[in-house]
Amino acid sequence: MIDTIVNNLKLLMREKGIVNVTELARITKIHQPTLHRLLAGEVKDPKYANLKQLADYFGVTVSDIVEKDMSNMPKVDTVSFKWAPVPIVGNAQLGDGGFWTDMEYPVGTGDGFIPWPTTDKDAYALKCKGDSMMPRIKNGEFVVIEPNHGYIPGDEVLVVTTDSKVMVKTYLYARSGVVSLVSINEEHPPINIPESEIATIHYVAGIAKESLRSE
């Protein structure tokens, strides 16, 4: 696995014109020694959070980097994506039990917009409060959600349960009527939720900084 990861990351760096680890560390905010060990093949079990940061920057998925020979993959047509004002429809607040409780604004209102390259006409954003998703999602940042986008194992998703708990997790699989999810924060254990107790699962397209917000 590590050889696949190293080869794919070096390929992505060449395509982006990134010439060394120092530049990649500066751009992705990952510690340079960590990246150096990773690209040297010394890290046999890379942290998911680091792989996710790299995948987001290069515009691919973690499963692409870990499982595929990206040299044979077709190039993504980024021209088809259009920048759109994605409405901020509410907050995701850390609640009891380590979950987020949803506080949506009334229909037709909101708290500004996030400019985002999306073709999903129903895309929306939530402002995150709390630190349960650190270091992936920081307090005050936004998650951009594309409800019409499919999701596969390894993707981050917004999950809403029938008792109104809201959480951002990494989707693992659905089996025998149970959905398995893993927390972004490695201090939180994986959870299994019966499909009958899930109201919604939506694809998380990305994370946006507070500075992107506009009225």
Residues 56 and 136 grouped into a single domain: no
Q: Which CATH number is 120's domain given?
A: 2.10.109.10
* Nearest-5° Cα angle at 64, 212 to 115: 15
Q: Are residues 102 and 143 in the same domain?
A: yes
CA distances from 73 to 12, 67, 69, 80 (A): 12, 12, 7, 18
Residues 94 and 177 grouped into a single domain:
yes
Is 80 part of any domain?
A: no
Q: What is the pLDDT of residue 95?
A: 44
| Residues with pLDDT less than 70, the chain | 73-82, 92-110, 131-133, 184-186
Which residues share a beta bridge with 142? 127, 208
pTM for this model (two decimals)? 0.59
In this structure, the answer to whether residues 90 and 44 fall within a common structural domain is: no
Q: Count structural domains, the chain.
A: 2
- Give me the domain span that covers residue 56: 2-71
Amino acid at 188: H
Residue 117: strand pairing partners: 83
